[in-house]
Amino acid sequence: MRLWEDGGTMTVVPALHMGALHPVEQLLVILIAFGPFVVLAVVVYVVRRRDVAEEEAEAAETAEAAQGADDNRTD
């Protein structure tokens, strides 16, 4: 913060810009800004993949059960 004197009064002026960021600081800002969205995308992908696998397993079990029921009727 800087103090300026205007005709006997002092005005407080905050430093709004502190200069360019160091490359490590830039990386940190990018990770903080976009990291949660990347994690969310990974979680959605993994959960959706698991749900699709469960749906395929249920469909296979249903098909096997229907096939088994058809085999029992013909005998």
| 3 state SS of 9 | strand
Element (H, E) at 11: strand 9-13
Does the residue 51 lie in any domain?
A: yes
Q: Does 23 reside within a domain?
A: no
The rounded distance, in Å, linking the Cα atoms of 68 and 24 is: 63
Range of the domain at 51: 35-69
Does residue 64 register a pLDDT over 90? no
In a domain, 13, yes or no: no
- Given a cut of 60, whether residue 4 has pLDDT beyond it is no
The answer to the question of residue 57 being in a domain is yes
Fill in the amino acid letter for 16. L
* Domain total of the chain: 1
In a domain, 25, yes or no: no
Query: What single-letter DSSP state applies at residue 66?
Result: H
Flag whether 63 is in a domain: yes
Asked whether residue 21 is domain-assigned, the answer is no
Q: Please tell me the pTM assigned to this model.
A: 0.57
Question: What does the pLDDT look like over 28-61, one tens digit per residue?
Answer: 999 999 999 999 999 999 999 999 999 999 999 9
Residue 39 lies in a domain: yes
**Rounded distance, CA 13 to CA 24, Å?**
28
